[in-house]
Amino acid sequence: MKLSNLFTTCTAMALLPAMAAQSDEYHVVVLQALTGPAAFIGTAVADGMRLAEQHINEQGLLGEGNTLKVTYADDATDRTQTMTLIARYANDPSILGILGPTSGAVAIAGASSGNQYEMPVVTTTNTPEVLEQGPWSFILTQPPEITIPYLVDYAADVAGAKECAVIGIRDIEAYVALQKQFEKLMMDKGVKITTVEQVGGTDSDFSSVATKIATSQQDCVFVSASASQGANIIVQLRQAGLDPATPVFGHNAFASPEFLDRGGAGVEGVTFIADWVPGGYDDFTTAFATEFRERFGHEADNWNAVGYGGMLVMANALKSMEEPSREALRDQLGKTSEVRVAAGQGSYSVDEKRYPHVGMNVLTVQDGAFVQAPR
C-alpha cells in the first residue's frame, strides 16, 4: 500500500478539523544545516521534510483548499548566519514558523532569536537549553533524559556492562548532555565509570586517548560524538588494540550513513540508539521507506525519518489553529499529541515541559549495515 493512502487514514486522524472557512496558504521555513559540520544531519532532515511537504499537499491534509508553502534555507552550522536568517524571516509576515536550525551548536542562539522576534522555531537538536530561551522555541528530537535510558538499559541489562570508559566532545553542548546523562544512569545501575576522556569537536588525532583506553581495563566504551568523528575515534580505538570483545556504544548521532562510510569495518558491532528502524517495521513505516527510496534514489536513514515526522508535527499544529498566526502556531505546537510519524515507535507527543516523546530503538552495525540489536 502506498504511503499516501496510509497517510490519509493514519495521520489525518491526528489533524483536527479546519475552523476557518477561507482557503489559506501556510508558509513555513525549513532552516537546516545544508552545509557545514552538521550537514550530515541537516540535509537528511530537509529531504524528509520535502517528502512530507509533498504528501501533505497531495492529500489536502491542511483542509480543503489550504496548501503548505515551504522555503528551504541553509543555517551552515553558523550562529551569525542562523540569527541573520531568523531575523529576515521574522520580518516577513507571511511566514508562520521555522523548522530549524539543526545543531545544538547554533540552536540556542537560534532559539534566542526566535523568542526575541516572537517567531516559533522548532530546532532539530535535543538540547533542553533551547526551551529555556522562552515559549517560542521547541526541540524536535527527544532530550537525553528520555533517549539515553534506552541505551543504558541495553548496555547494563542486556550486554552486562560493569565497568565503562567514556569519550566525549567537550565543546558541543548536545553531546556533553548525552554523555553526562549516560554516566549518571550507568552509575545509578551500579556500573563503574572507569575514565572520562574529553576531546575537541574539530580534533582528528585520538591516538593518545585511544591508547590510554585500549590499554586499560573496562568491559564497555561509550563515545559521544558526531557520526564522522565518532567513527574516527572508534577506528583509532581498534587500531590501538582495544579488545574486540569490548562492546562500544553511542547515541543517535551514529544513526547516519556517514558513520558507516567513515568507519567501515572498524565500526562493526557498535551499538547505539536510533529514531529509525531501517526499512521500517509496519505498513506505515515500510511505505515511507519505499516512497522515500523512489523519490531520492537511496534508502531512508534516521534523519530522513526524523525530518519527515517533523513536518507532520508542523502540519498538525497548522491544521489545529482556529486562525492562522504565529501565536496560534506556538500554542498548538505545545499541544502536540499522538501525531503518527515514521520515527521512534510511531506516535509523537509533547509534554508539559515541551519535551517531545516518540520512543527510541537500539541498533547495531552488522555486516556493514544497521540492524536491530539482539536481545
The Cα 39–Cα 54 span in angstroms is 22
The C-alpha cell that represents 36 in the structure block? 557545514
**Is the CB of residue 313 less than 8 Å from the CB of residue 341?**
yes
Nearest in space to 148 (alpha carbons), one of 182, 188, 193: 182
pLDDT for position 218? 97
**Is the CB of residue 306 less than 8 Å from the CB of residue 45?**
yes
What b/e sequence results for 160-199 when a residue is b if at least 16 CB atoms lie within 10 Å of its CB, and e otherwise?
ebeebbbbbbeebbbbbbbbbbbbebbeeeebebbeebeb
79: number of Cβ within 10 Å: 18
What b/e sequence results for 310-325 when a residue is b if at least 16 CB atoms lie within 10 Å of its CB, and e otherwise?
bbbbbbbbbbbbeebe
**Is the CB of residue 79 less than 8 Å from the CB of residue 307?**
no
The C-alpha cell that represents 174 in the structure block? 548536545
Q: Where in the chain is the domain with CATH 3.40.50.2300?
A: 3-141+279-343, 144-274+362-372
The Cα 136–Cα 120 span in angstroms is 5
pLDDT for position 19? 41
Edge to edge, what strands does the sheet with 137-139 contain?
A: 67-74, 25-32, 95-99, 121-123, 137-139
pLDDT for position 16? 45
Q: Name the CATH architecture for the domain at 144-274+362-372.
A: 3-Layer(aba) Sandwich (3.40)
Q: In Å, what is the CA distance from 158 to each residue of 152, 153, 178, 183, 331?
A: 9, 7, 20, 17, 41
* CATH superfamily of the domain spanning 3-141+279-343: Response regulator (3.40.50.2300)
The Cα 273–Cα 48 span in angstroms is 19
Q: Cell 552495525 appears where?
A: 365
The Cα 119–Cα 135 span in angstroms is 10
The Cα 319–Cα 255 span in angstroms is 31
C-alpha angle with apex 16: 301 to 52, nearest 5 degrees?
Answer: 25
**Cis peptide leading into 101, omega within 30 of 0?**
yes
Q: Strands, E, within the chain: which ranges?
A: 25-32, 67-74, 95-99, 121-123, 137-139, 163-169, 192-199, 220-224, 248-250, 271-274, 339-340, 347-350, 356-357, 361-366, 369-372
pLDDT for position 3? 66
Walk along the chain (375 residues) and give the pLDDT tens digit of each residue. 566 555 554 544 445 444 444 679 999 999 999 999 999 999 999 999 999 999 999 999 999 899 999 999 999 999 999 999 999 999 999 999 999 999 988 999 999 999 999 999 999 999 999 999 999 999 999 999 999 999 999 999 999 999 999 999 998 888 999 999 999 999 999 999 999 999 998 999 999 999 999 999 999 999 999 999 999 999 999 999 999 999 999 999 999 899 999 999 999 999 999 999 999 999 999 999 999 999 999 999 999 999 999 999 999 999 999 999 999 999 999 999 999 999 999 999 999 999 999 999 999 999 999 999 998
C-alpha angle with apex 176: 173 to 178, nearest 5 degrees?
Answer: 110
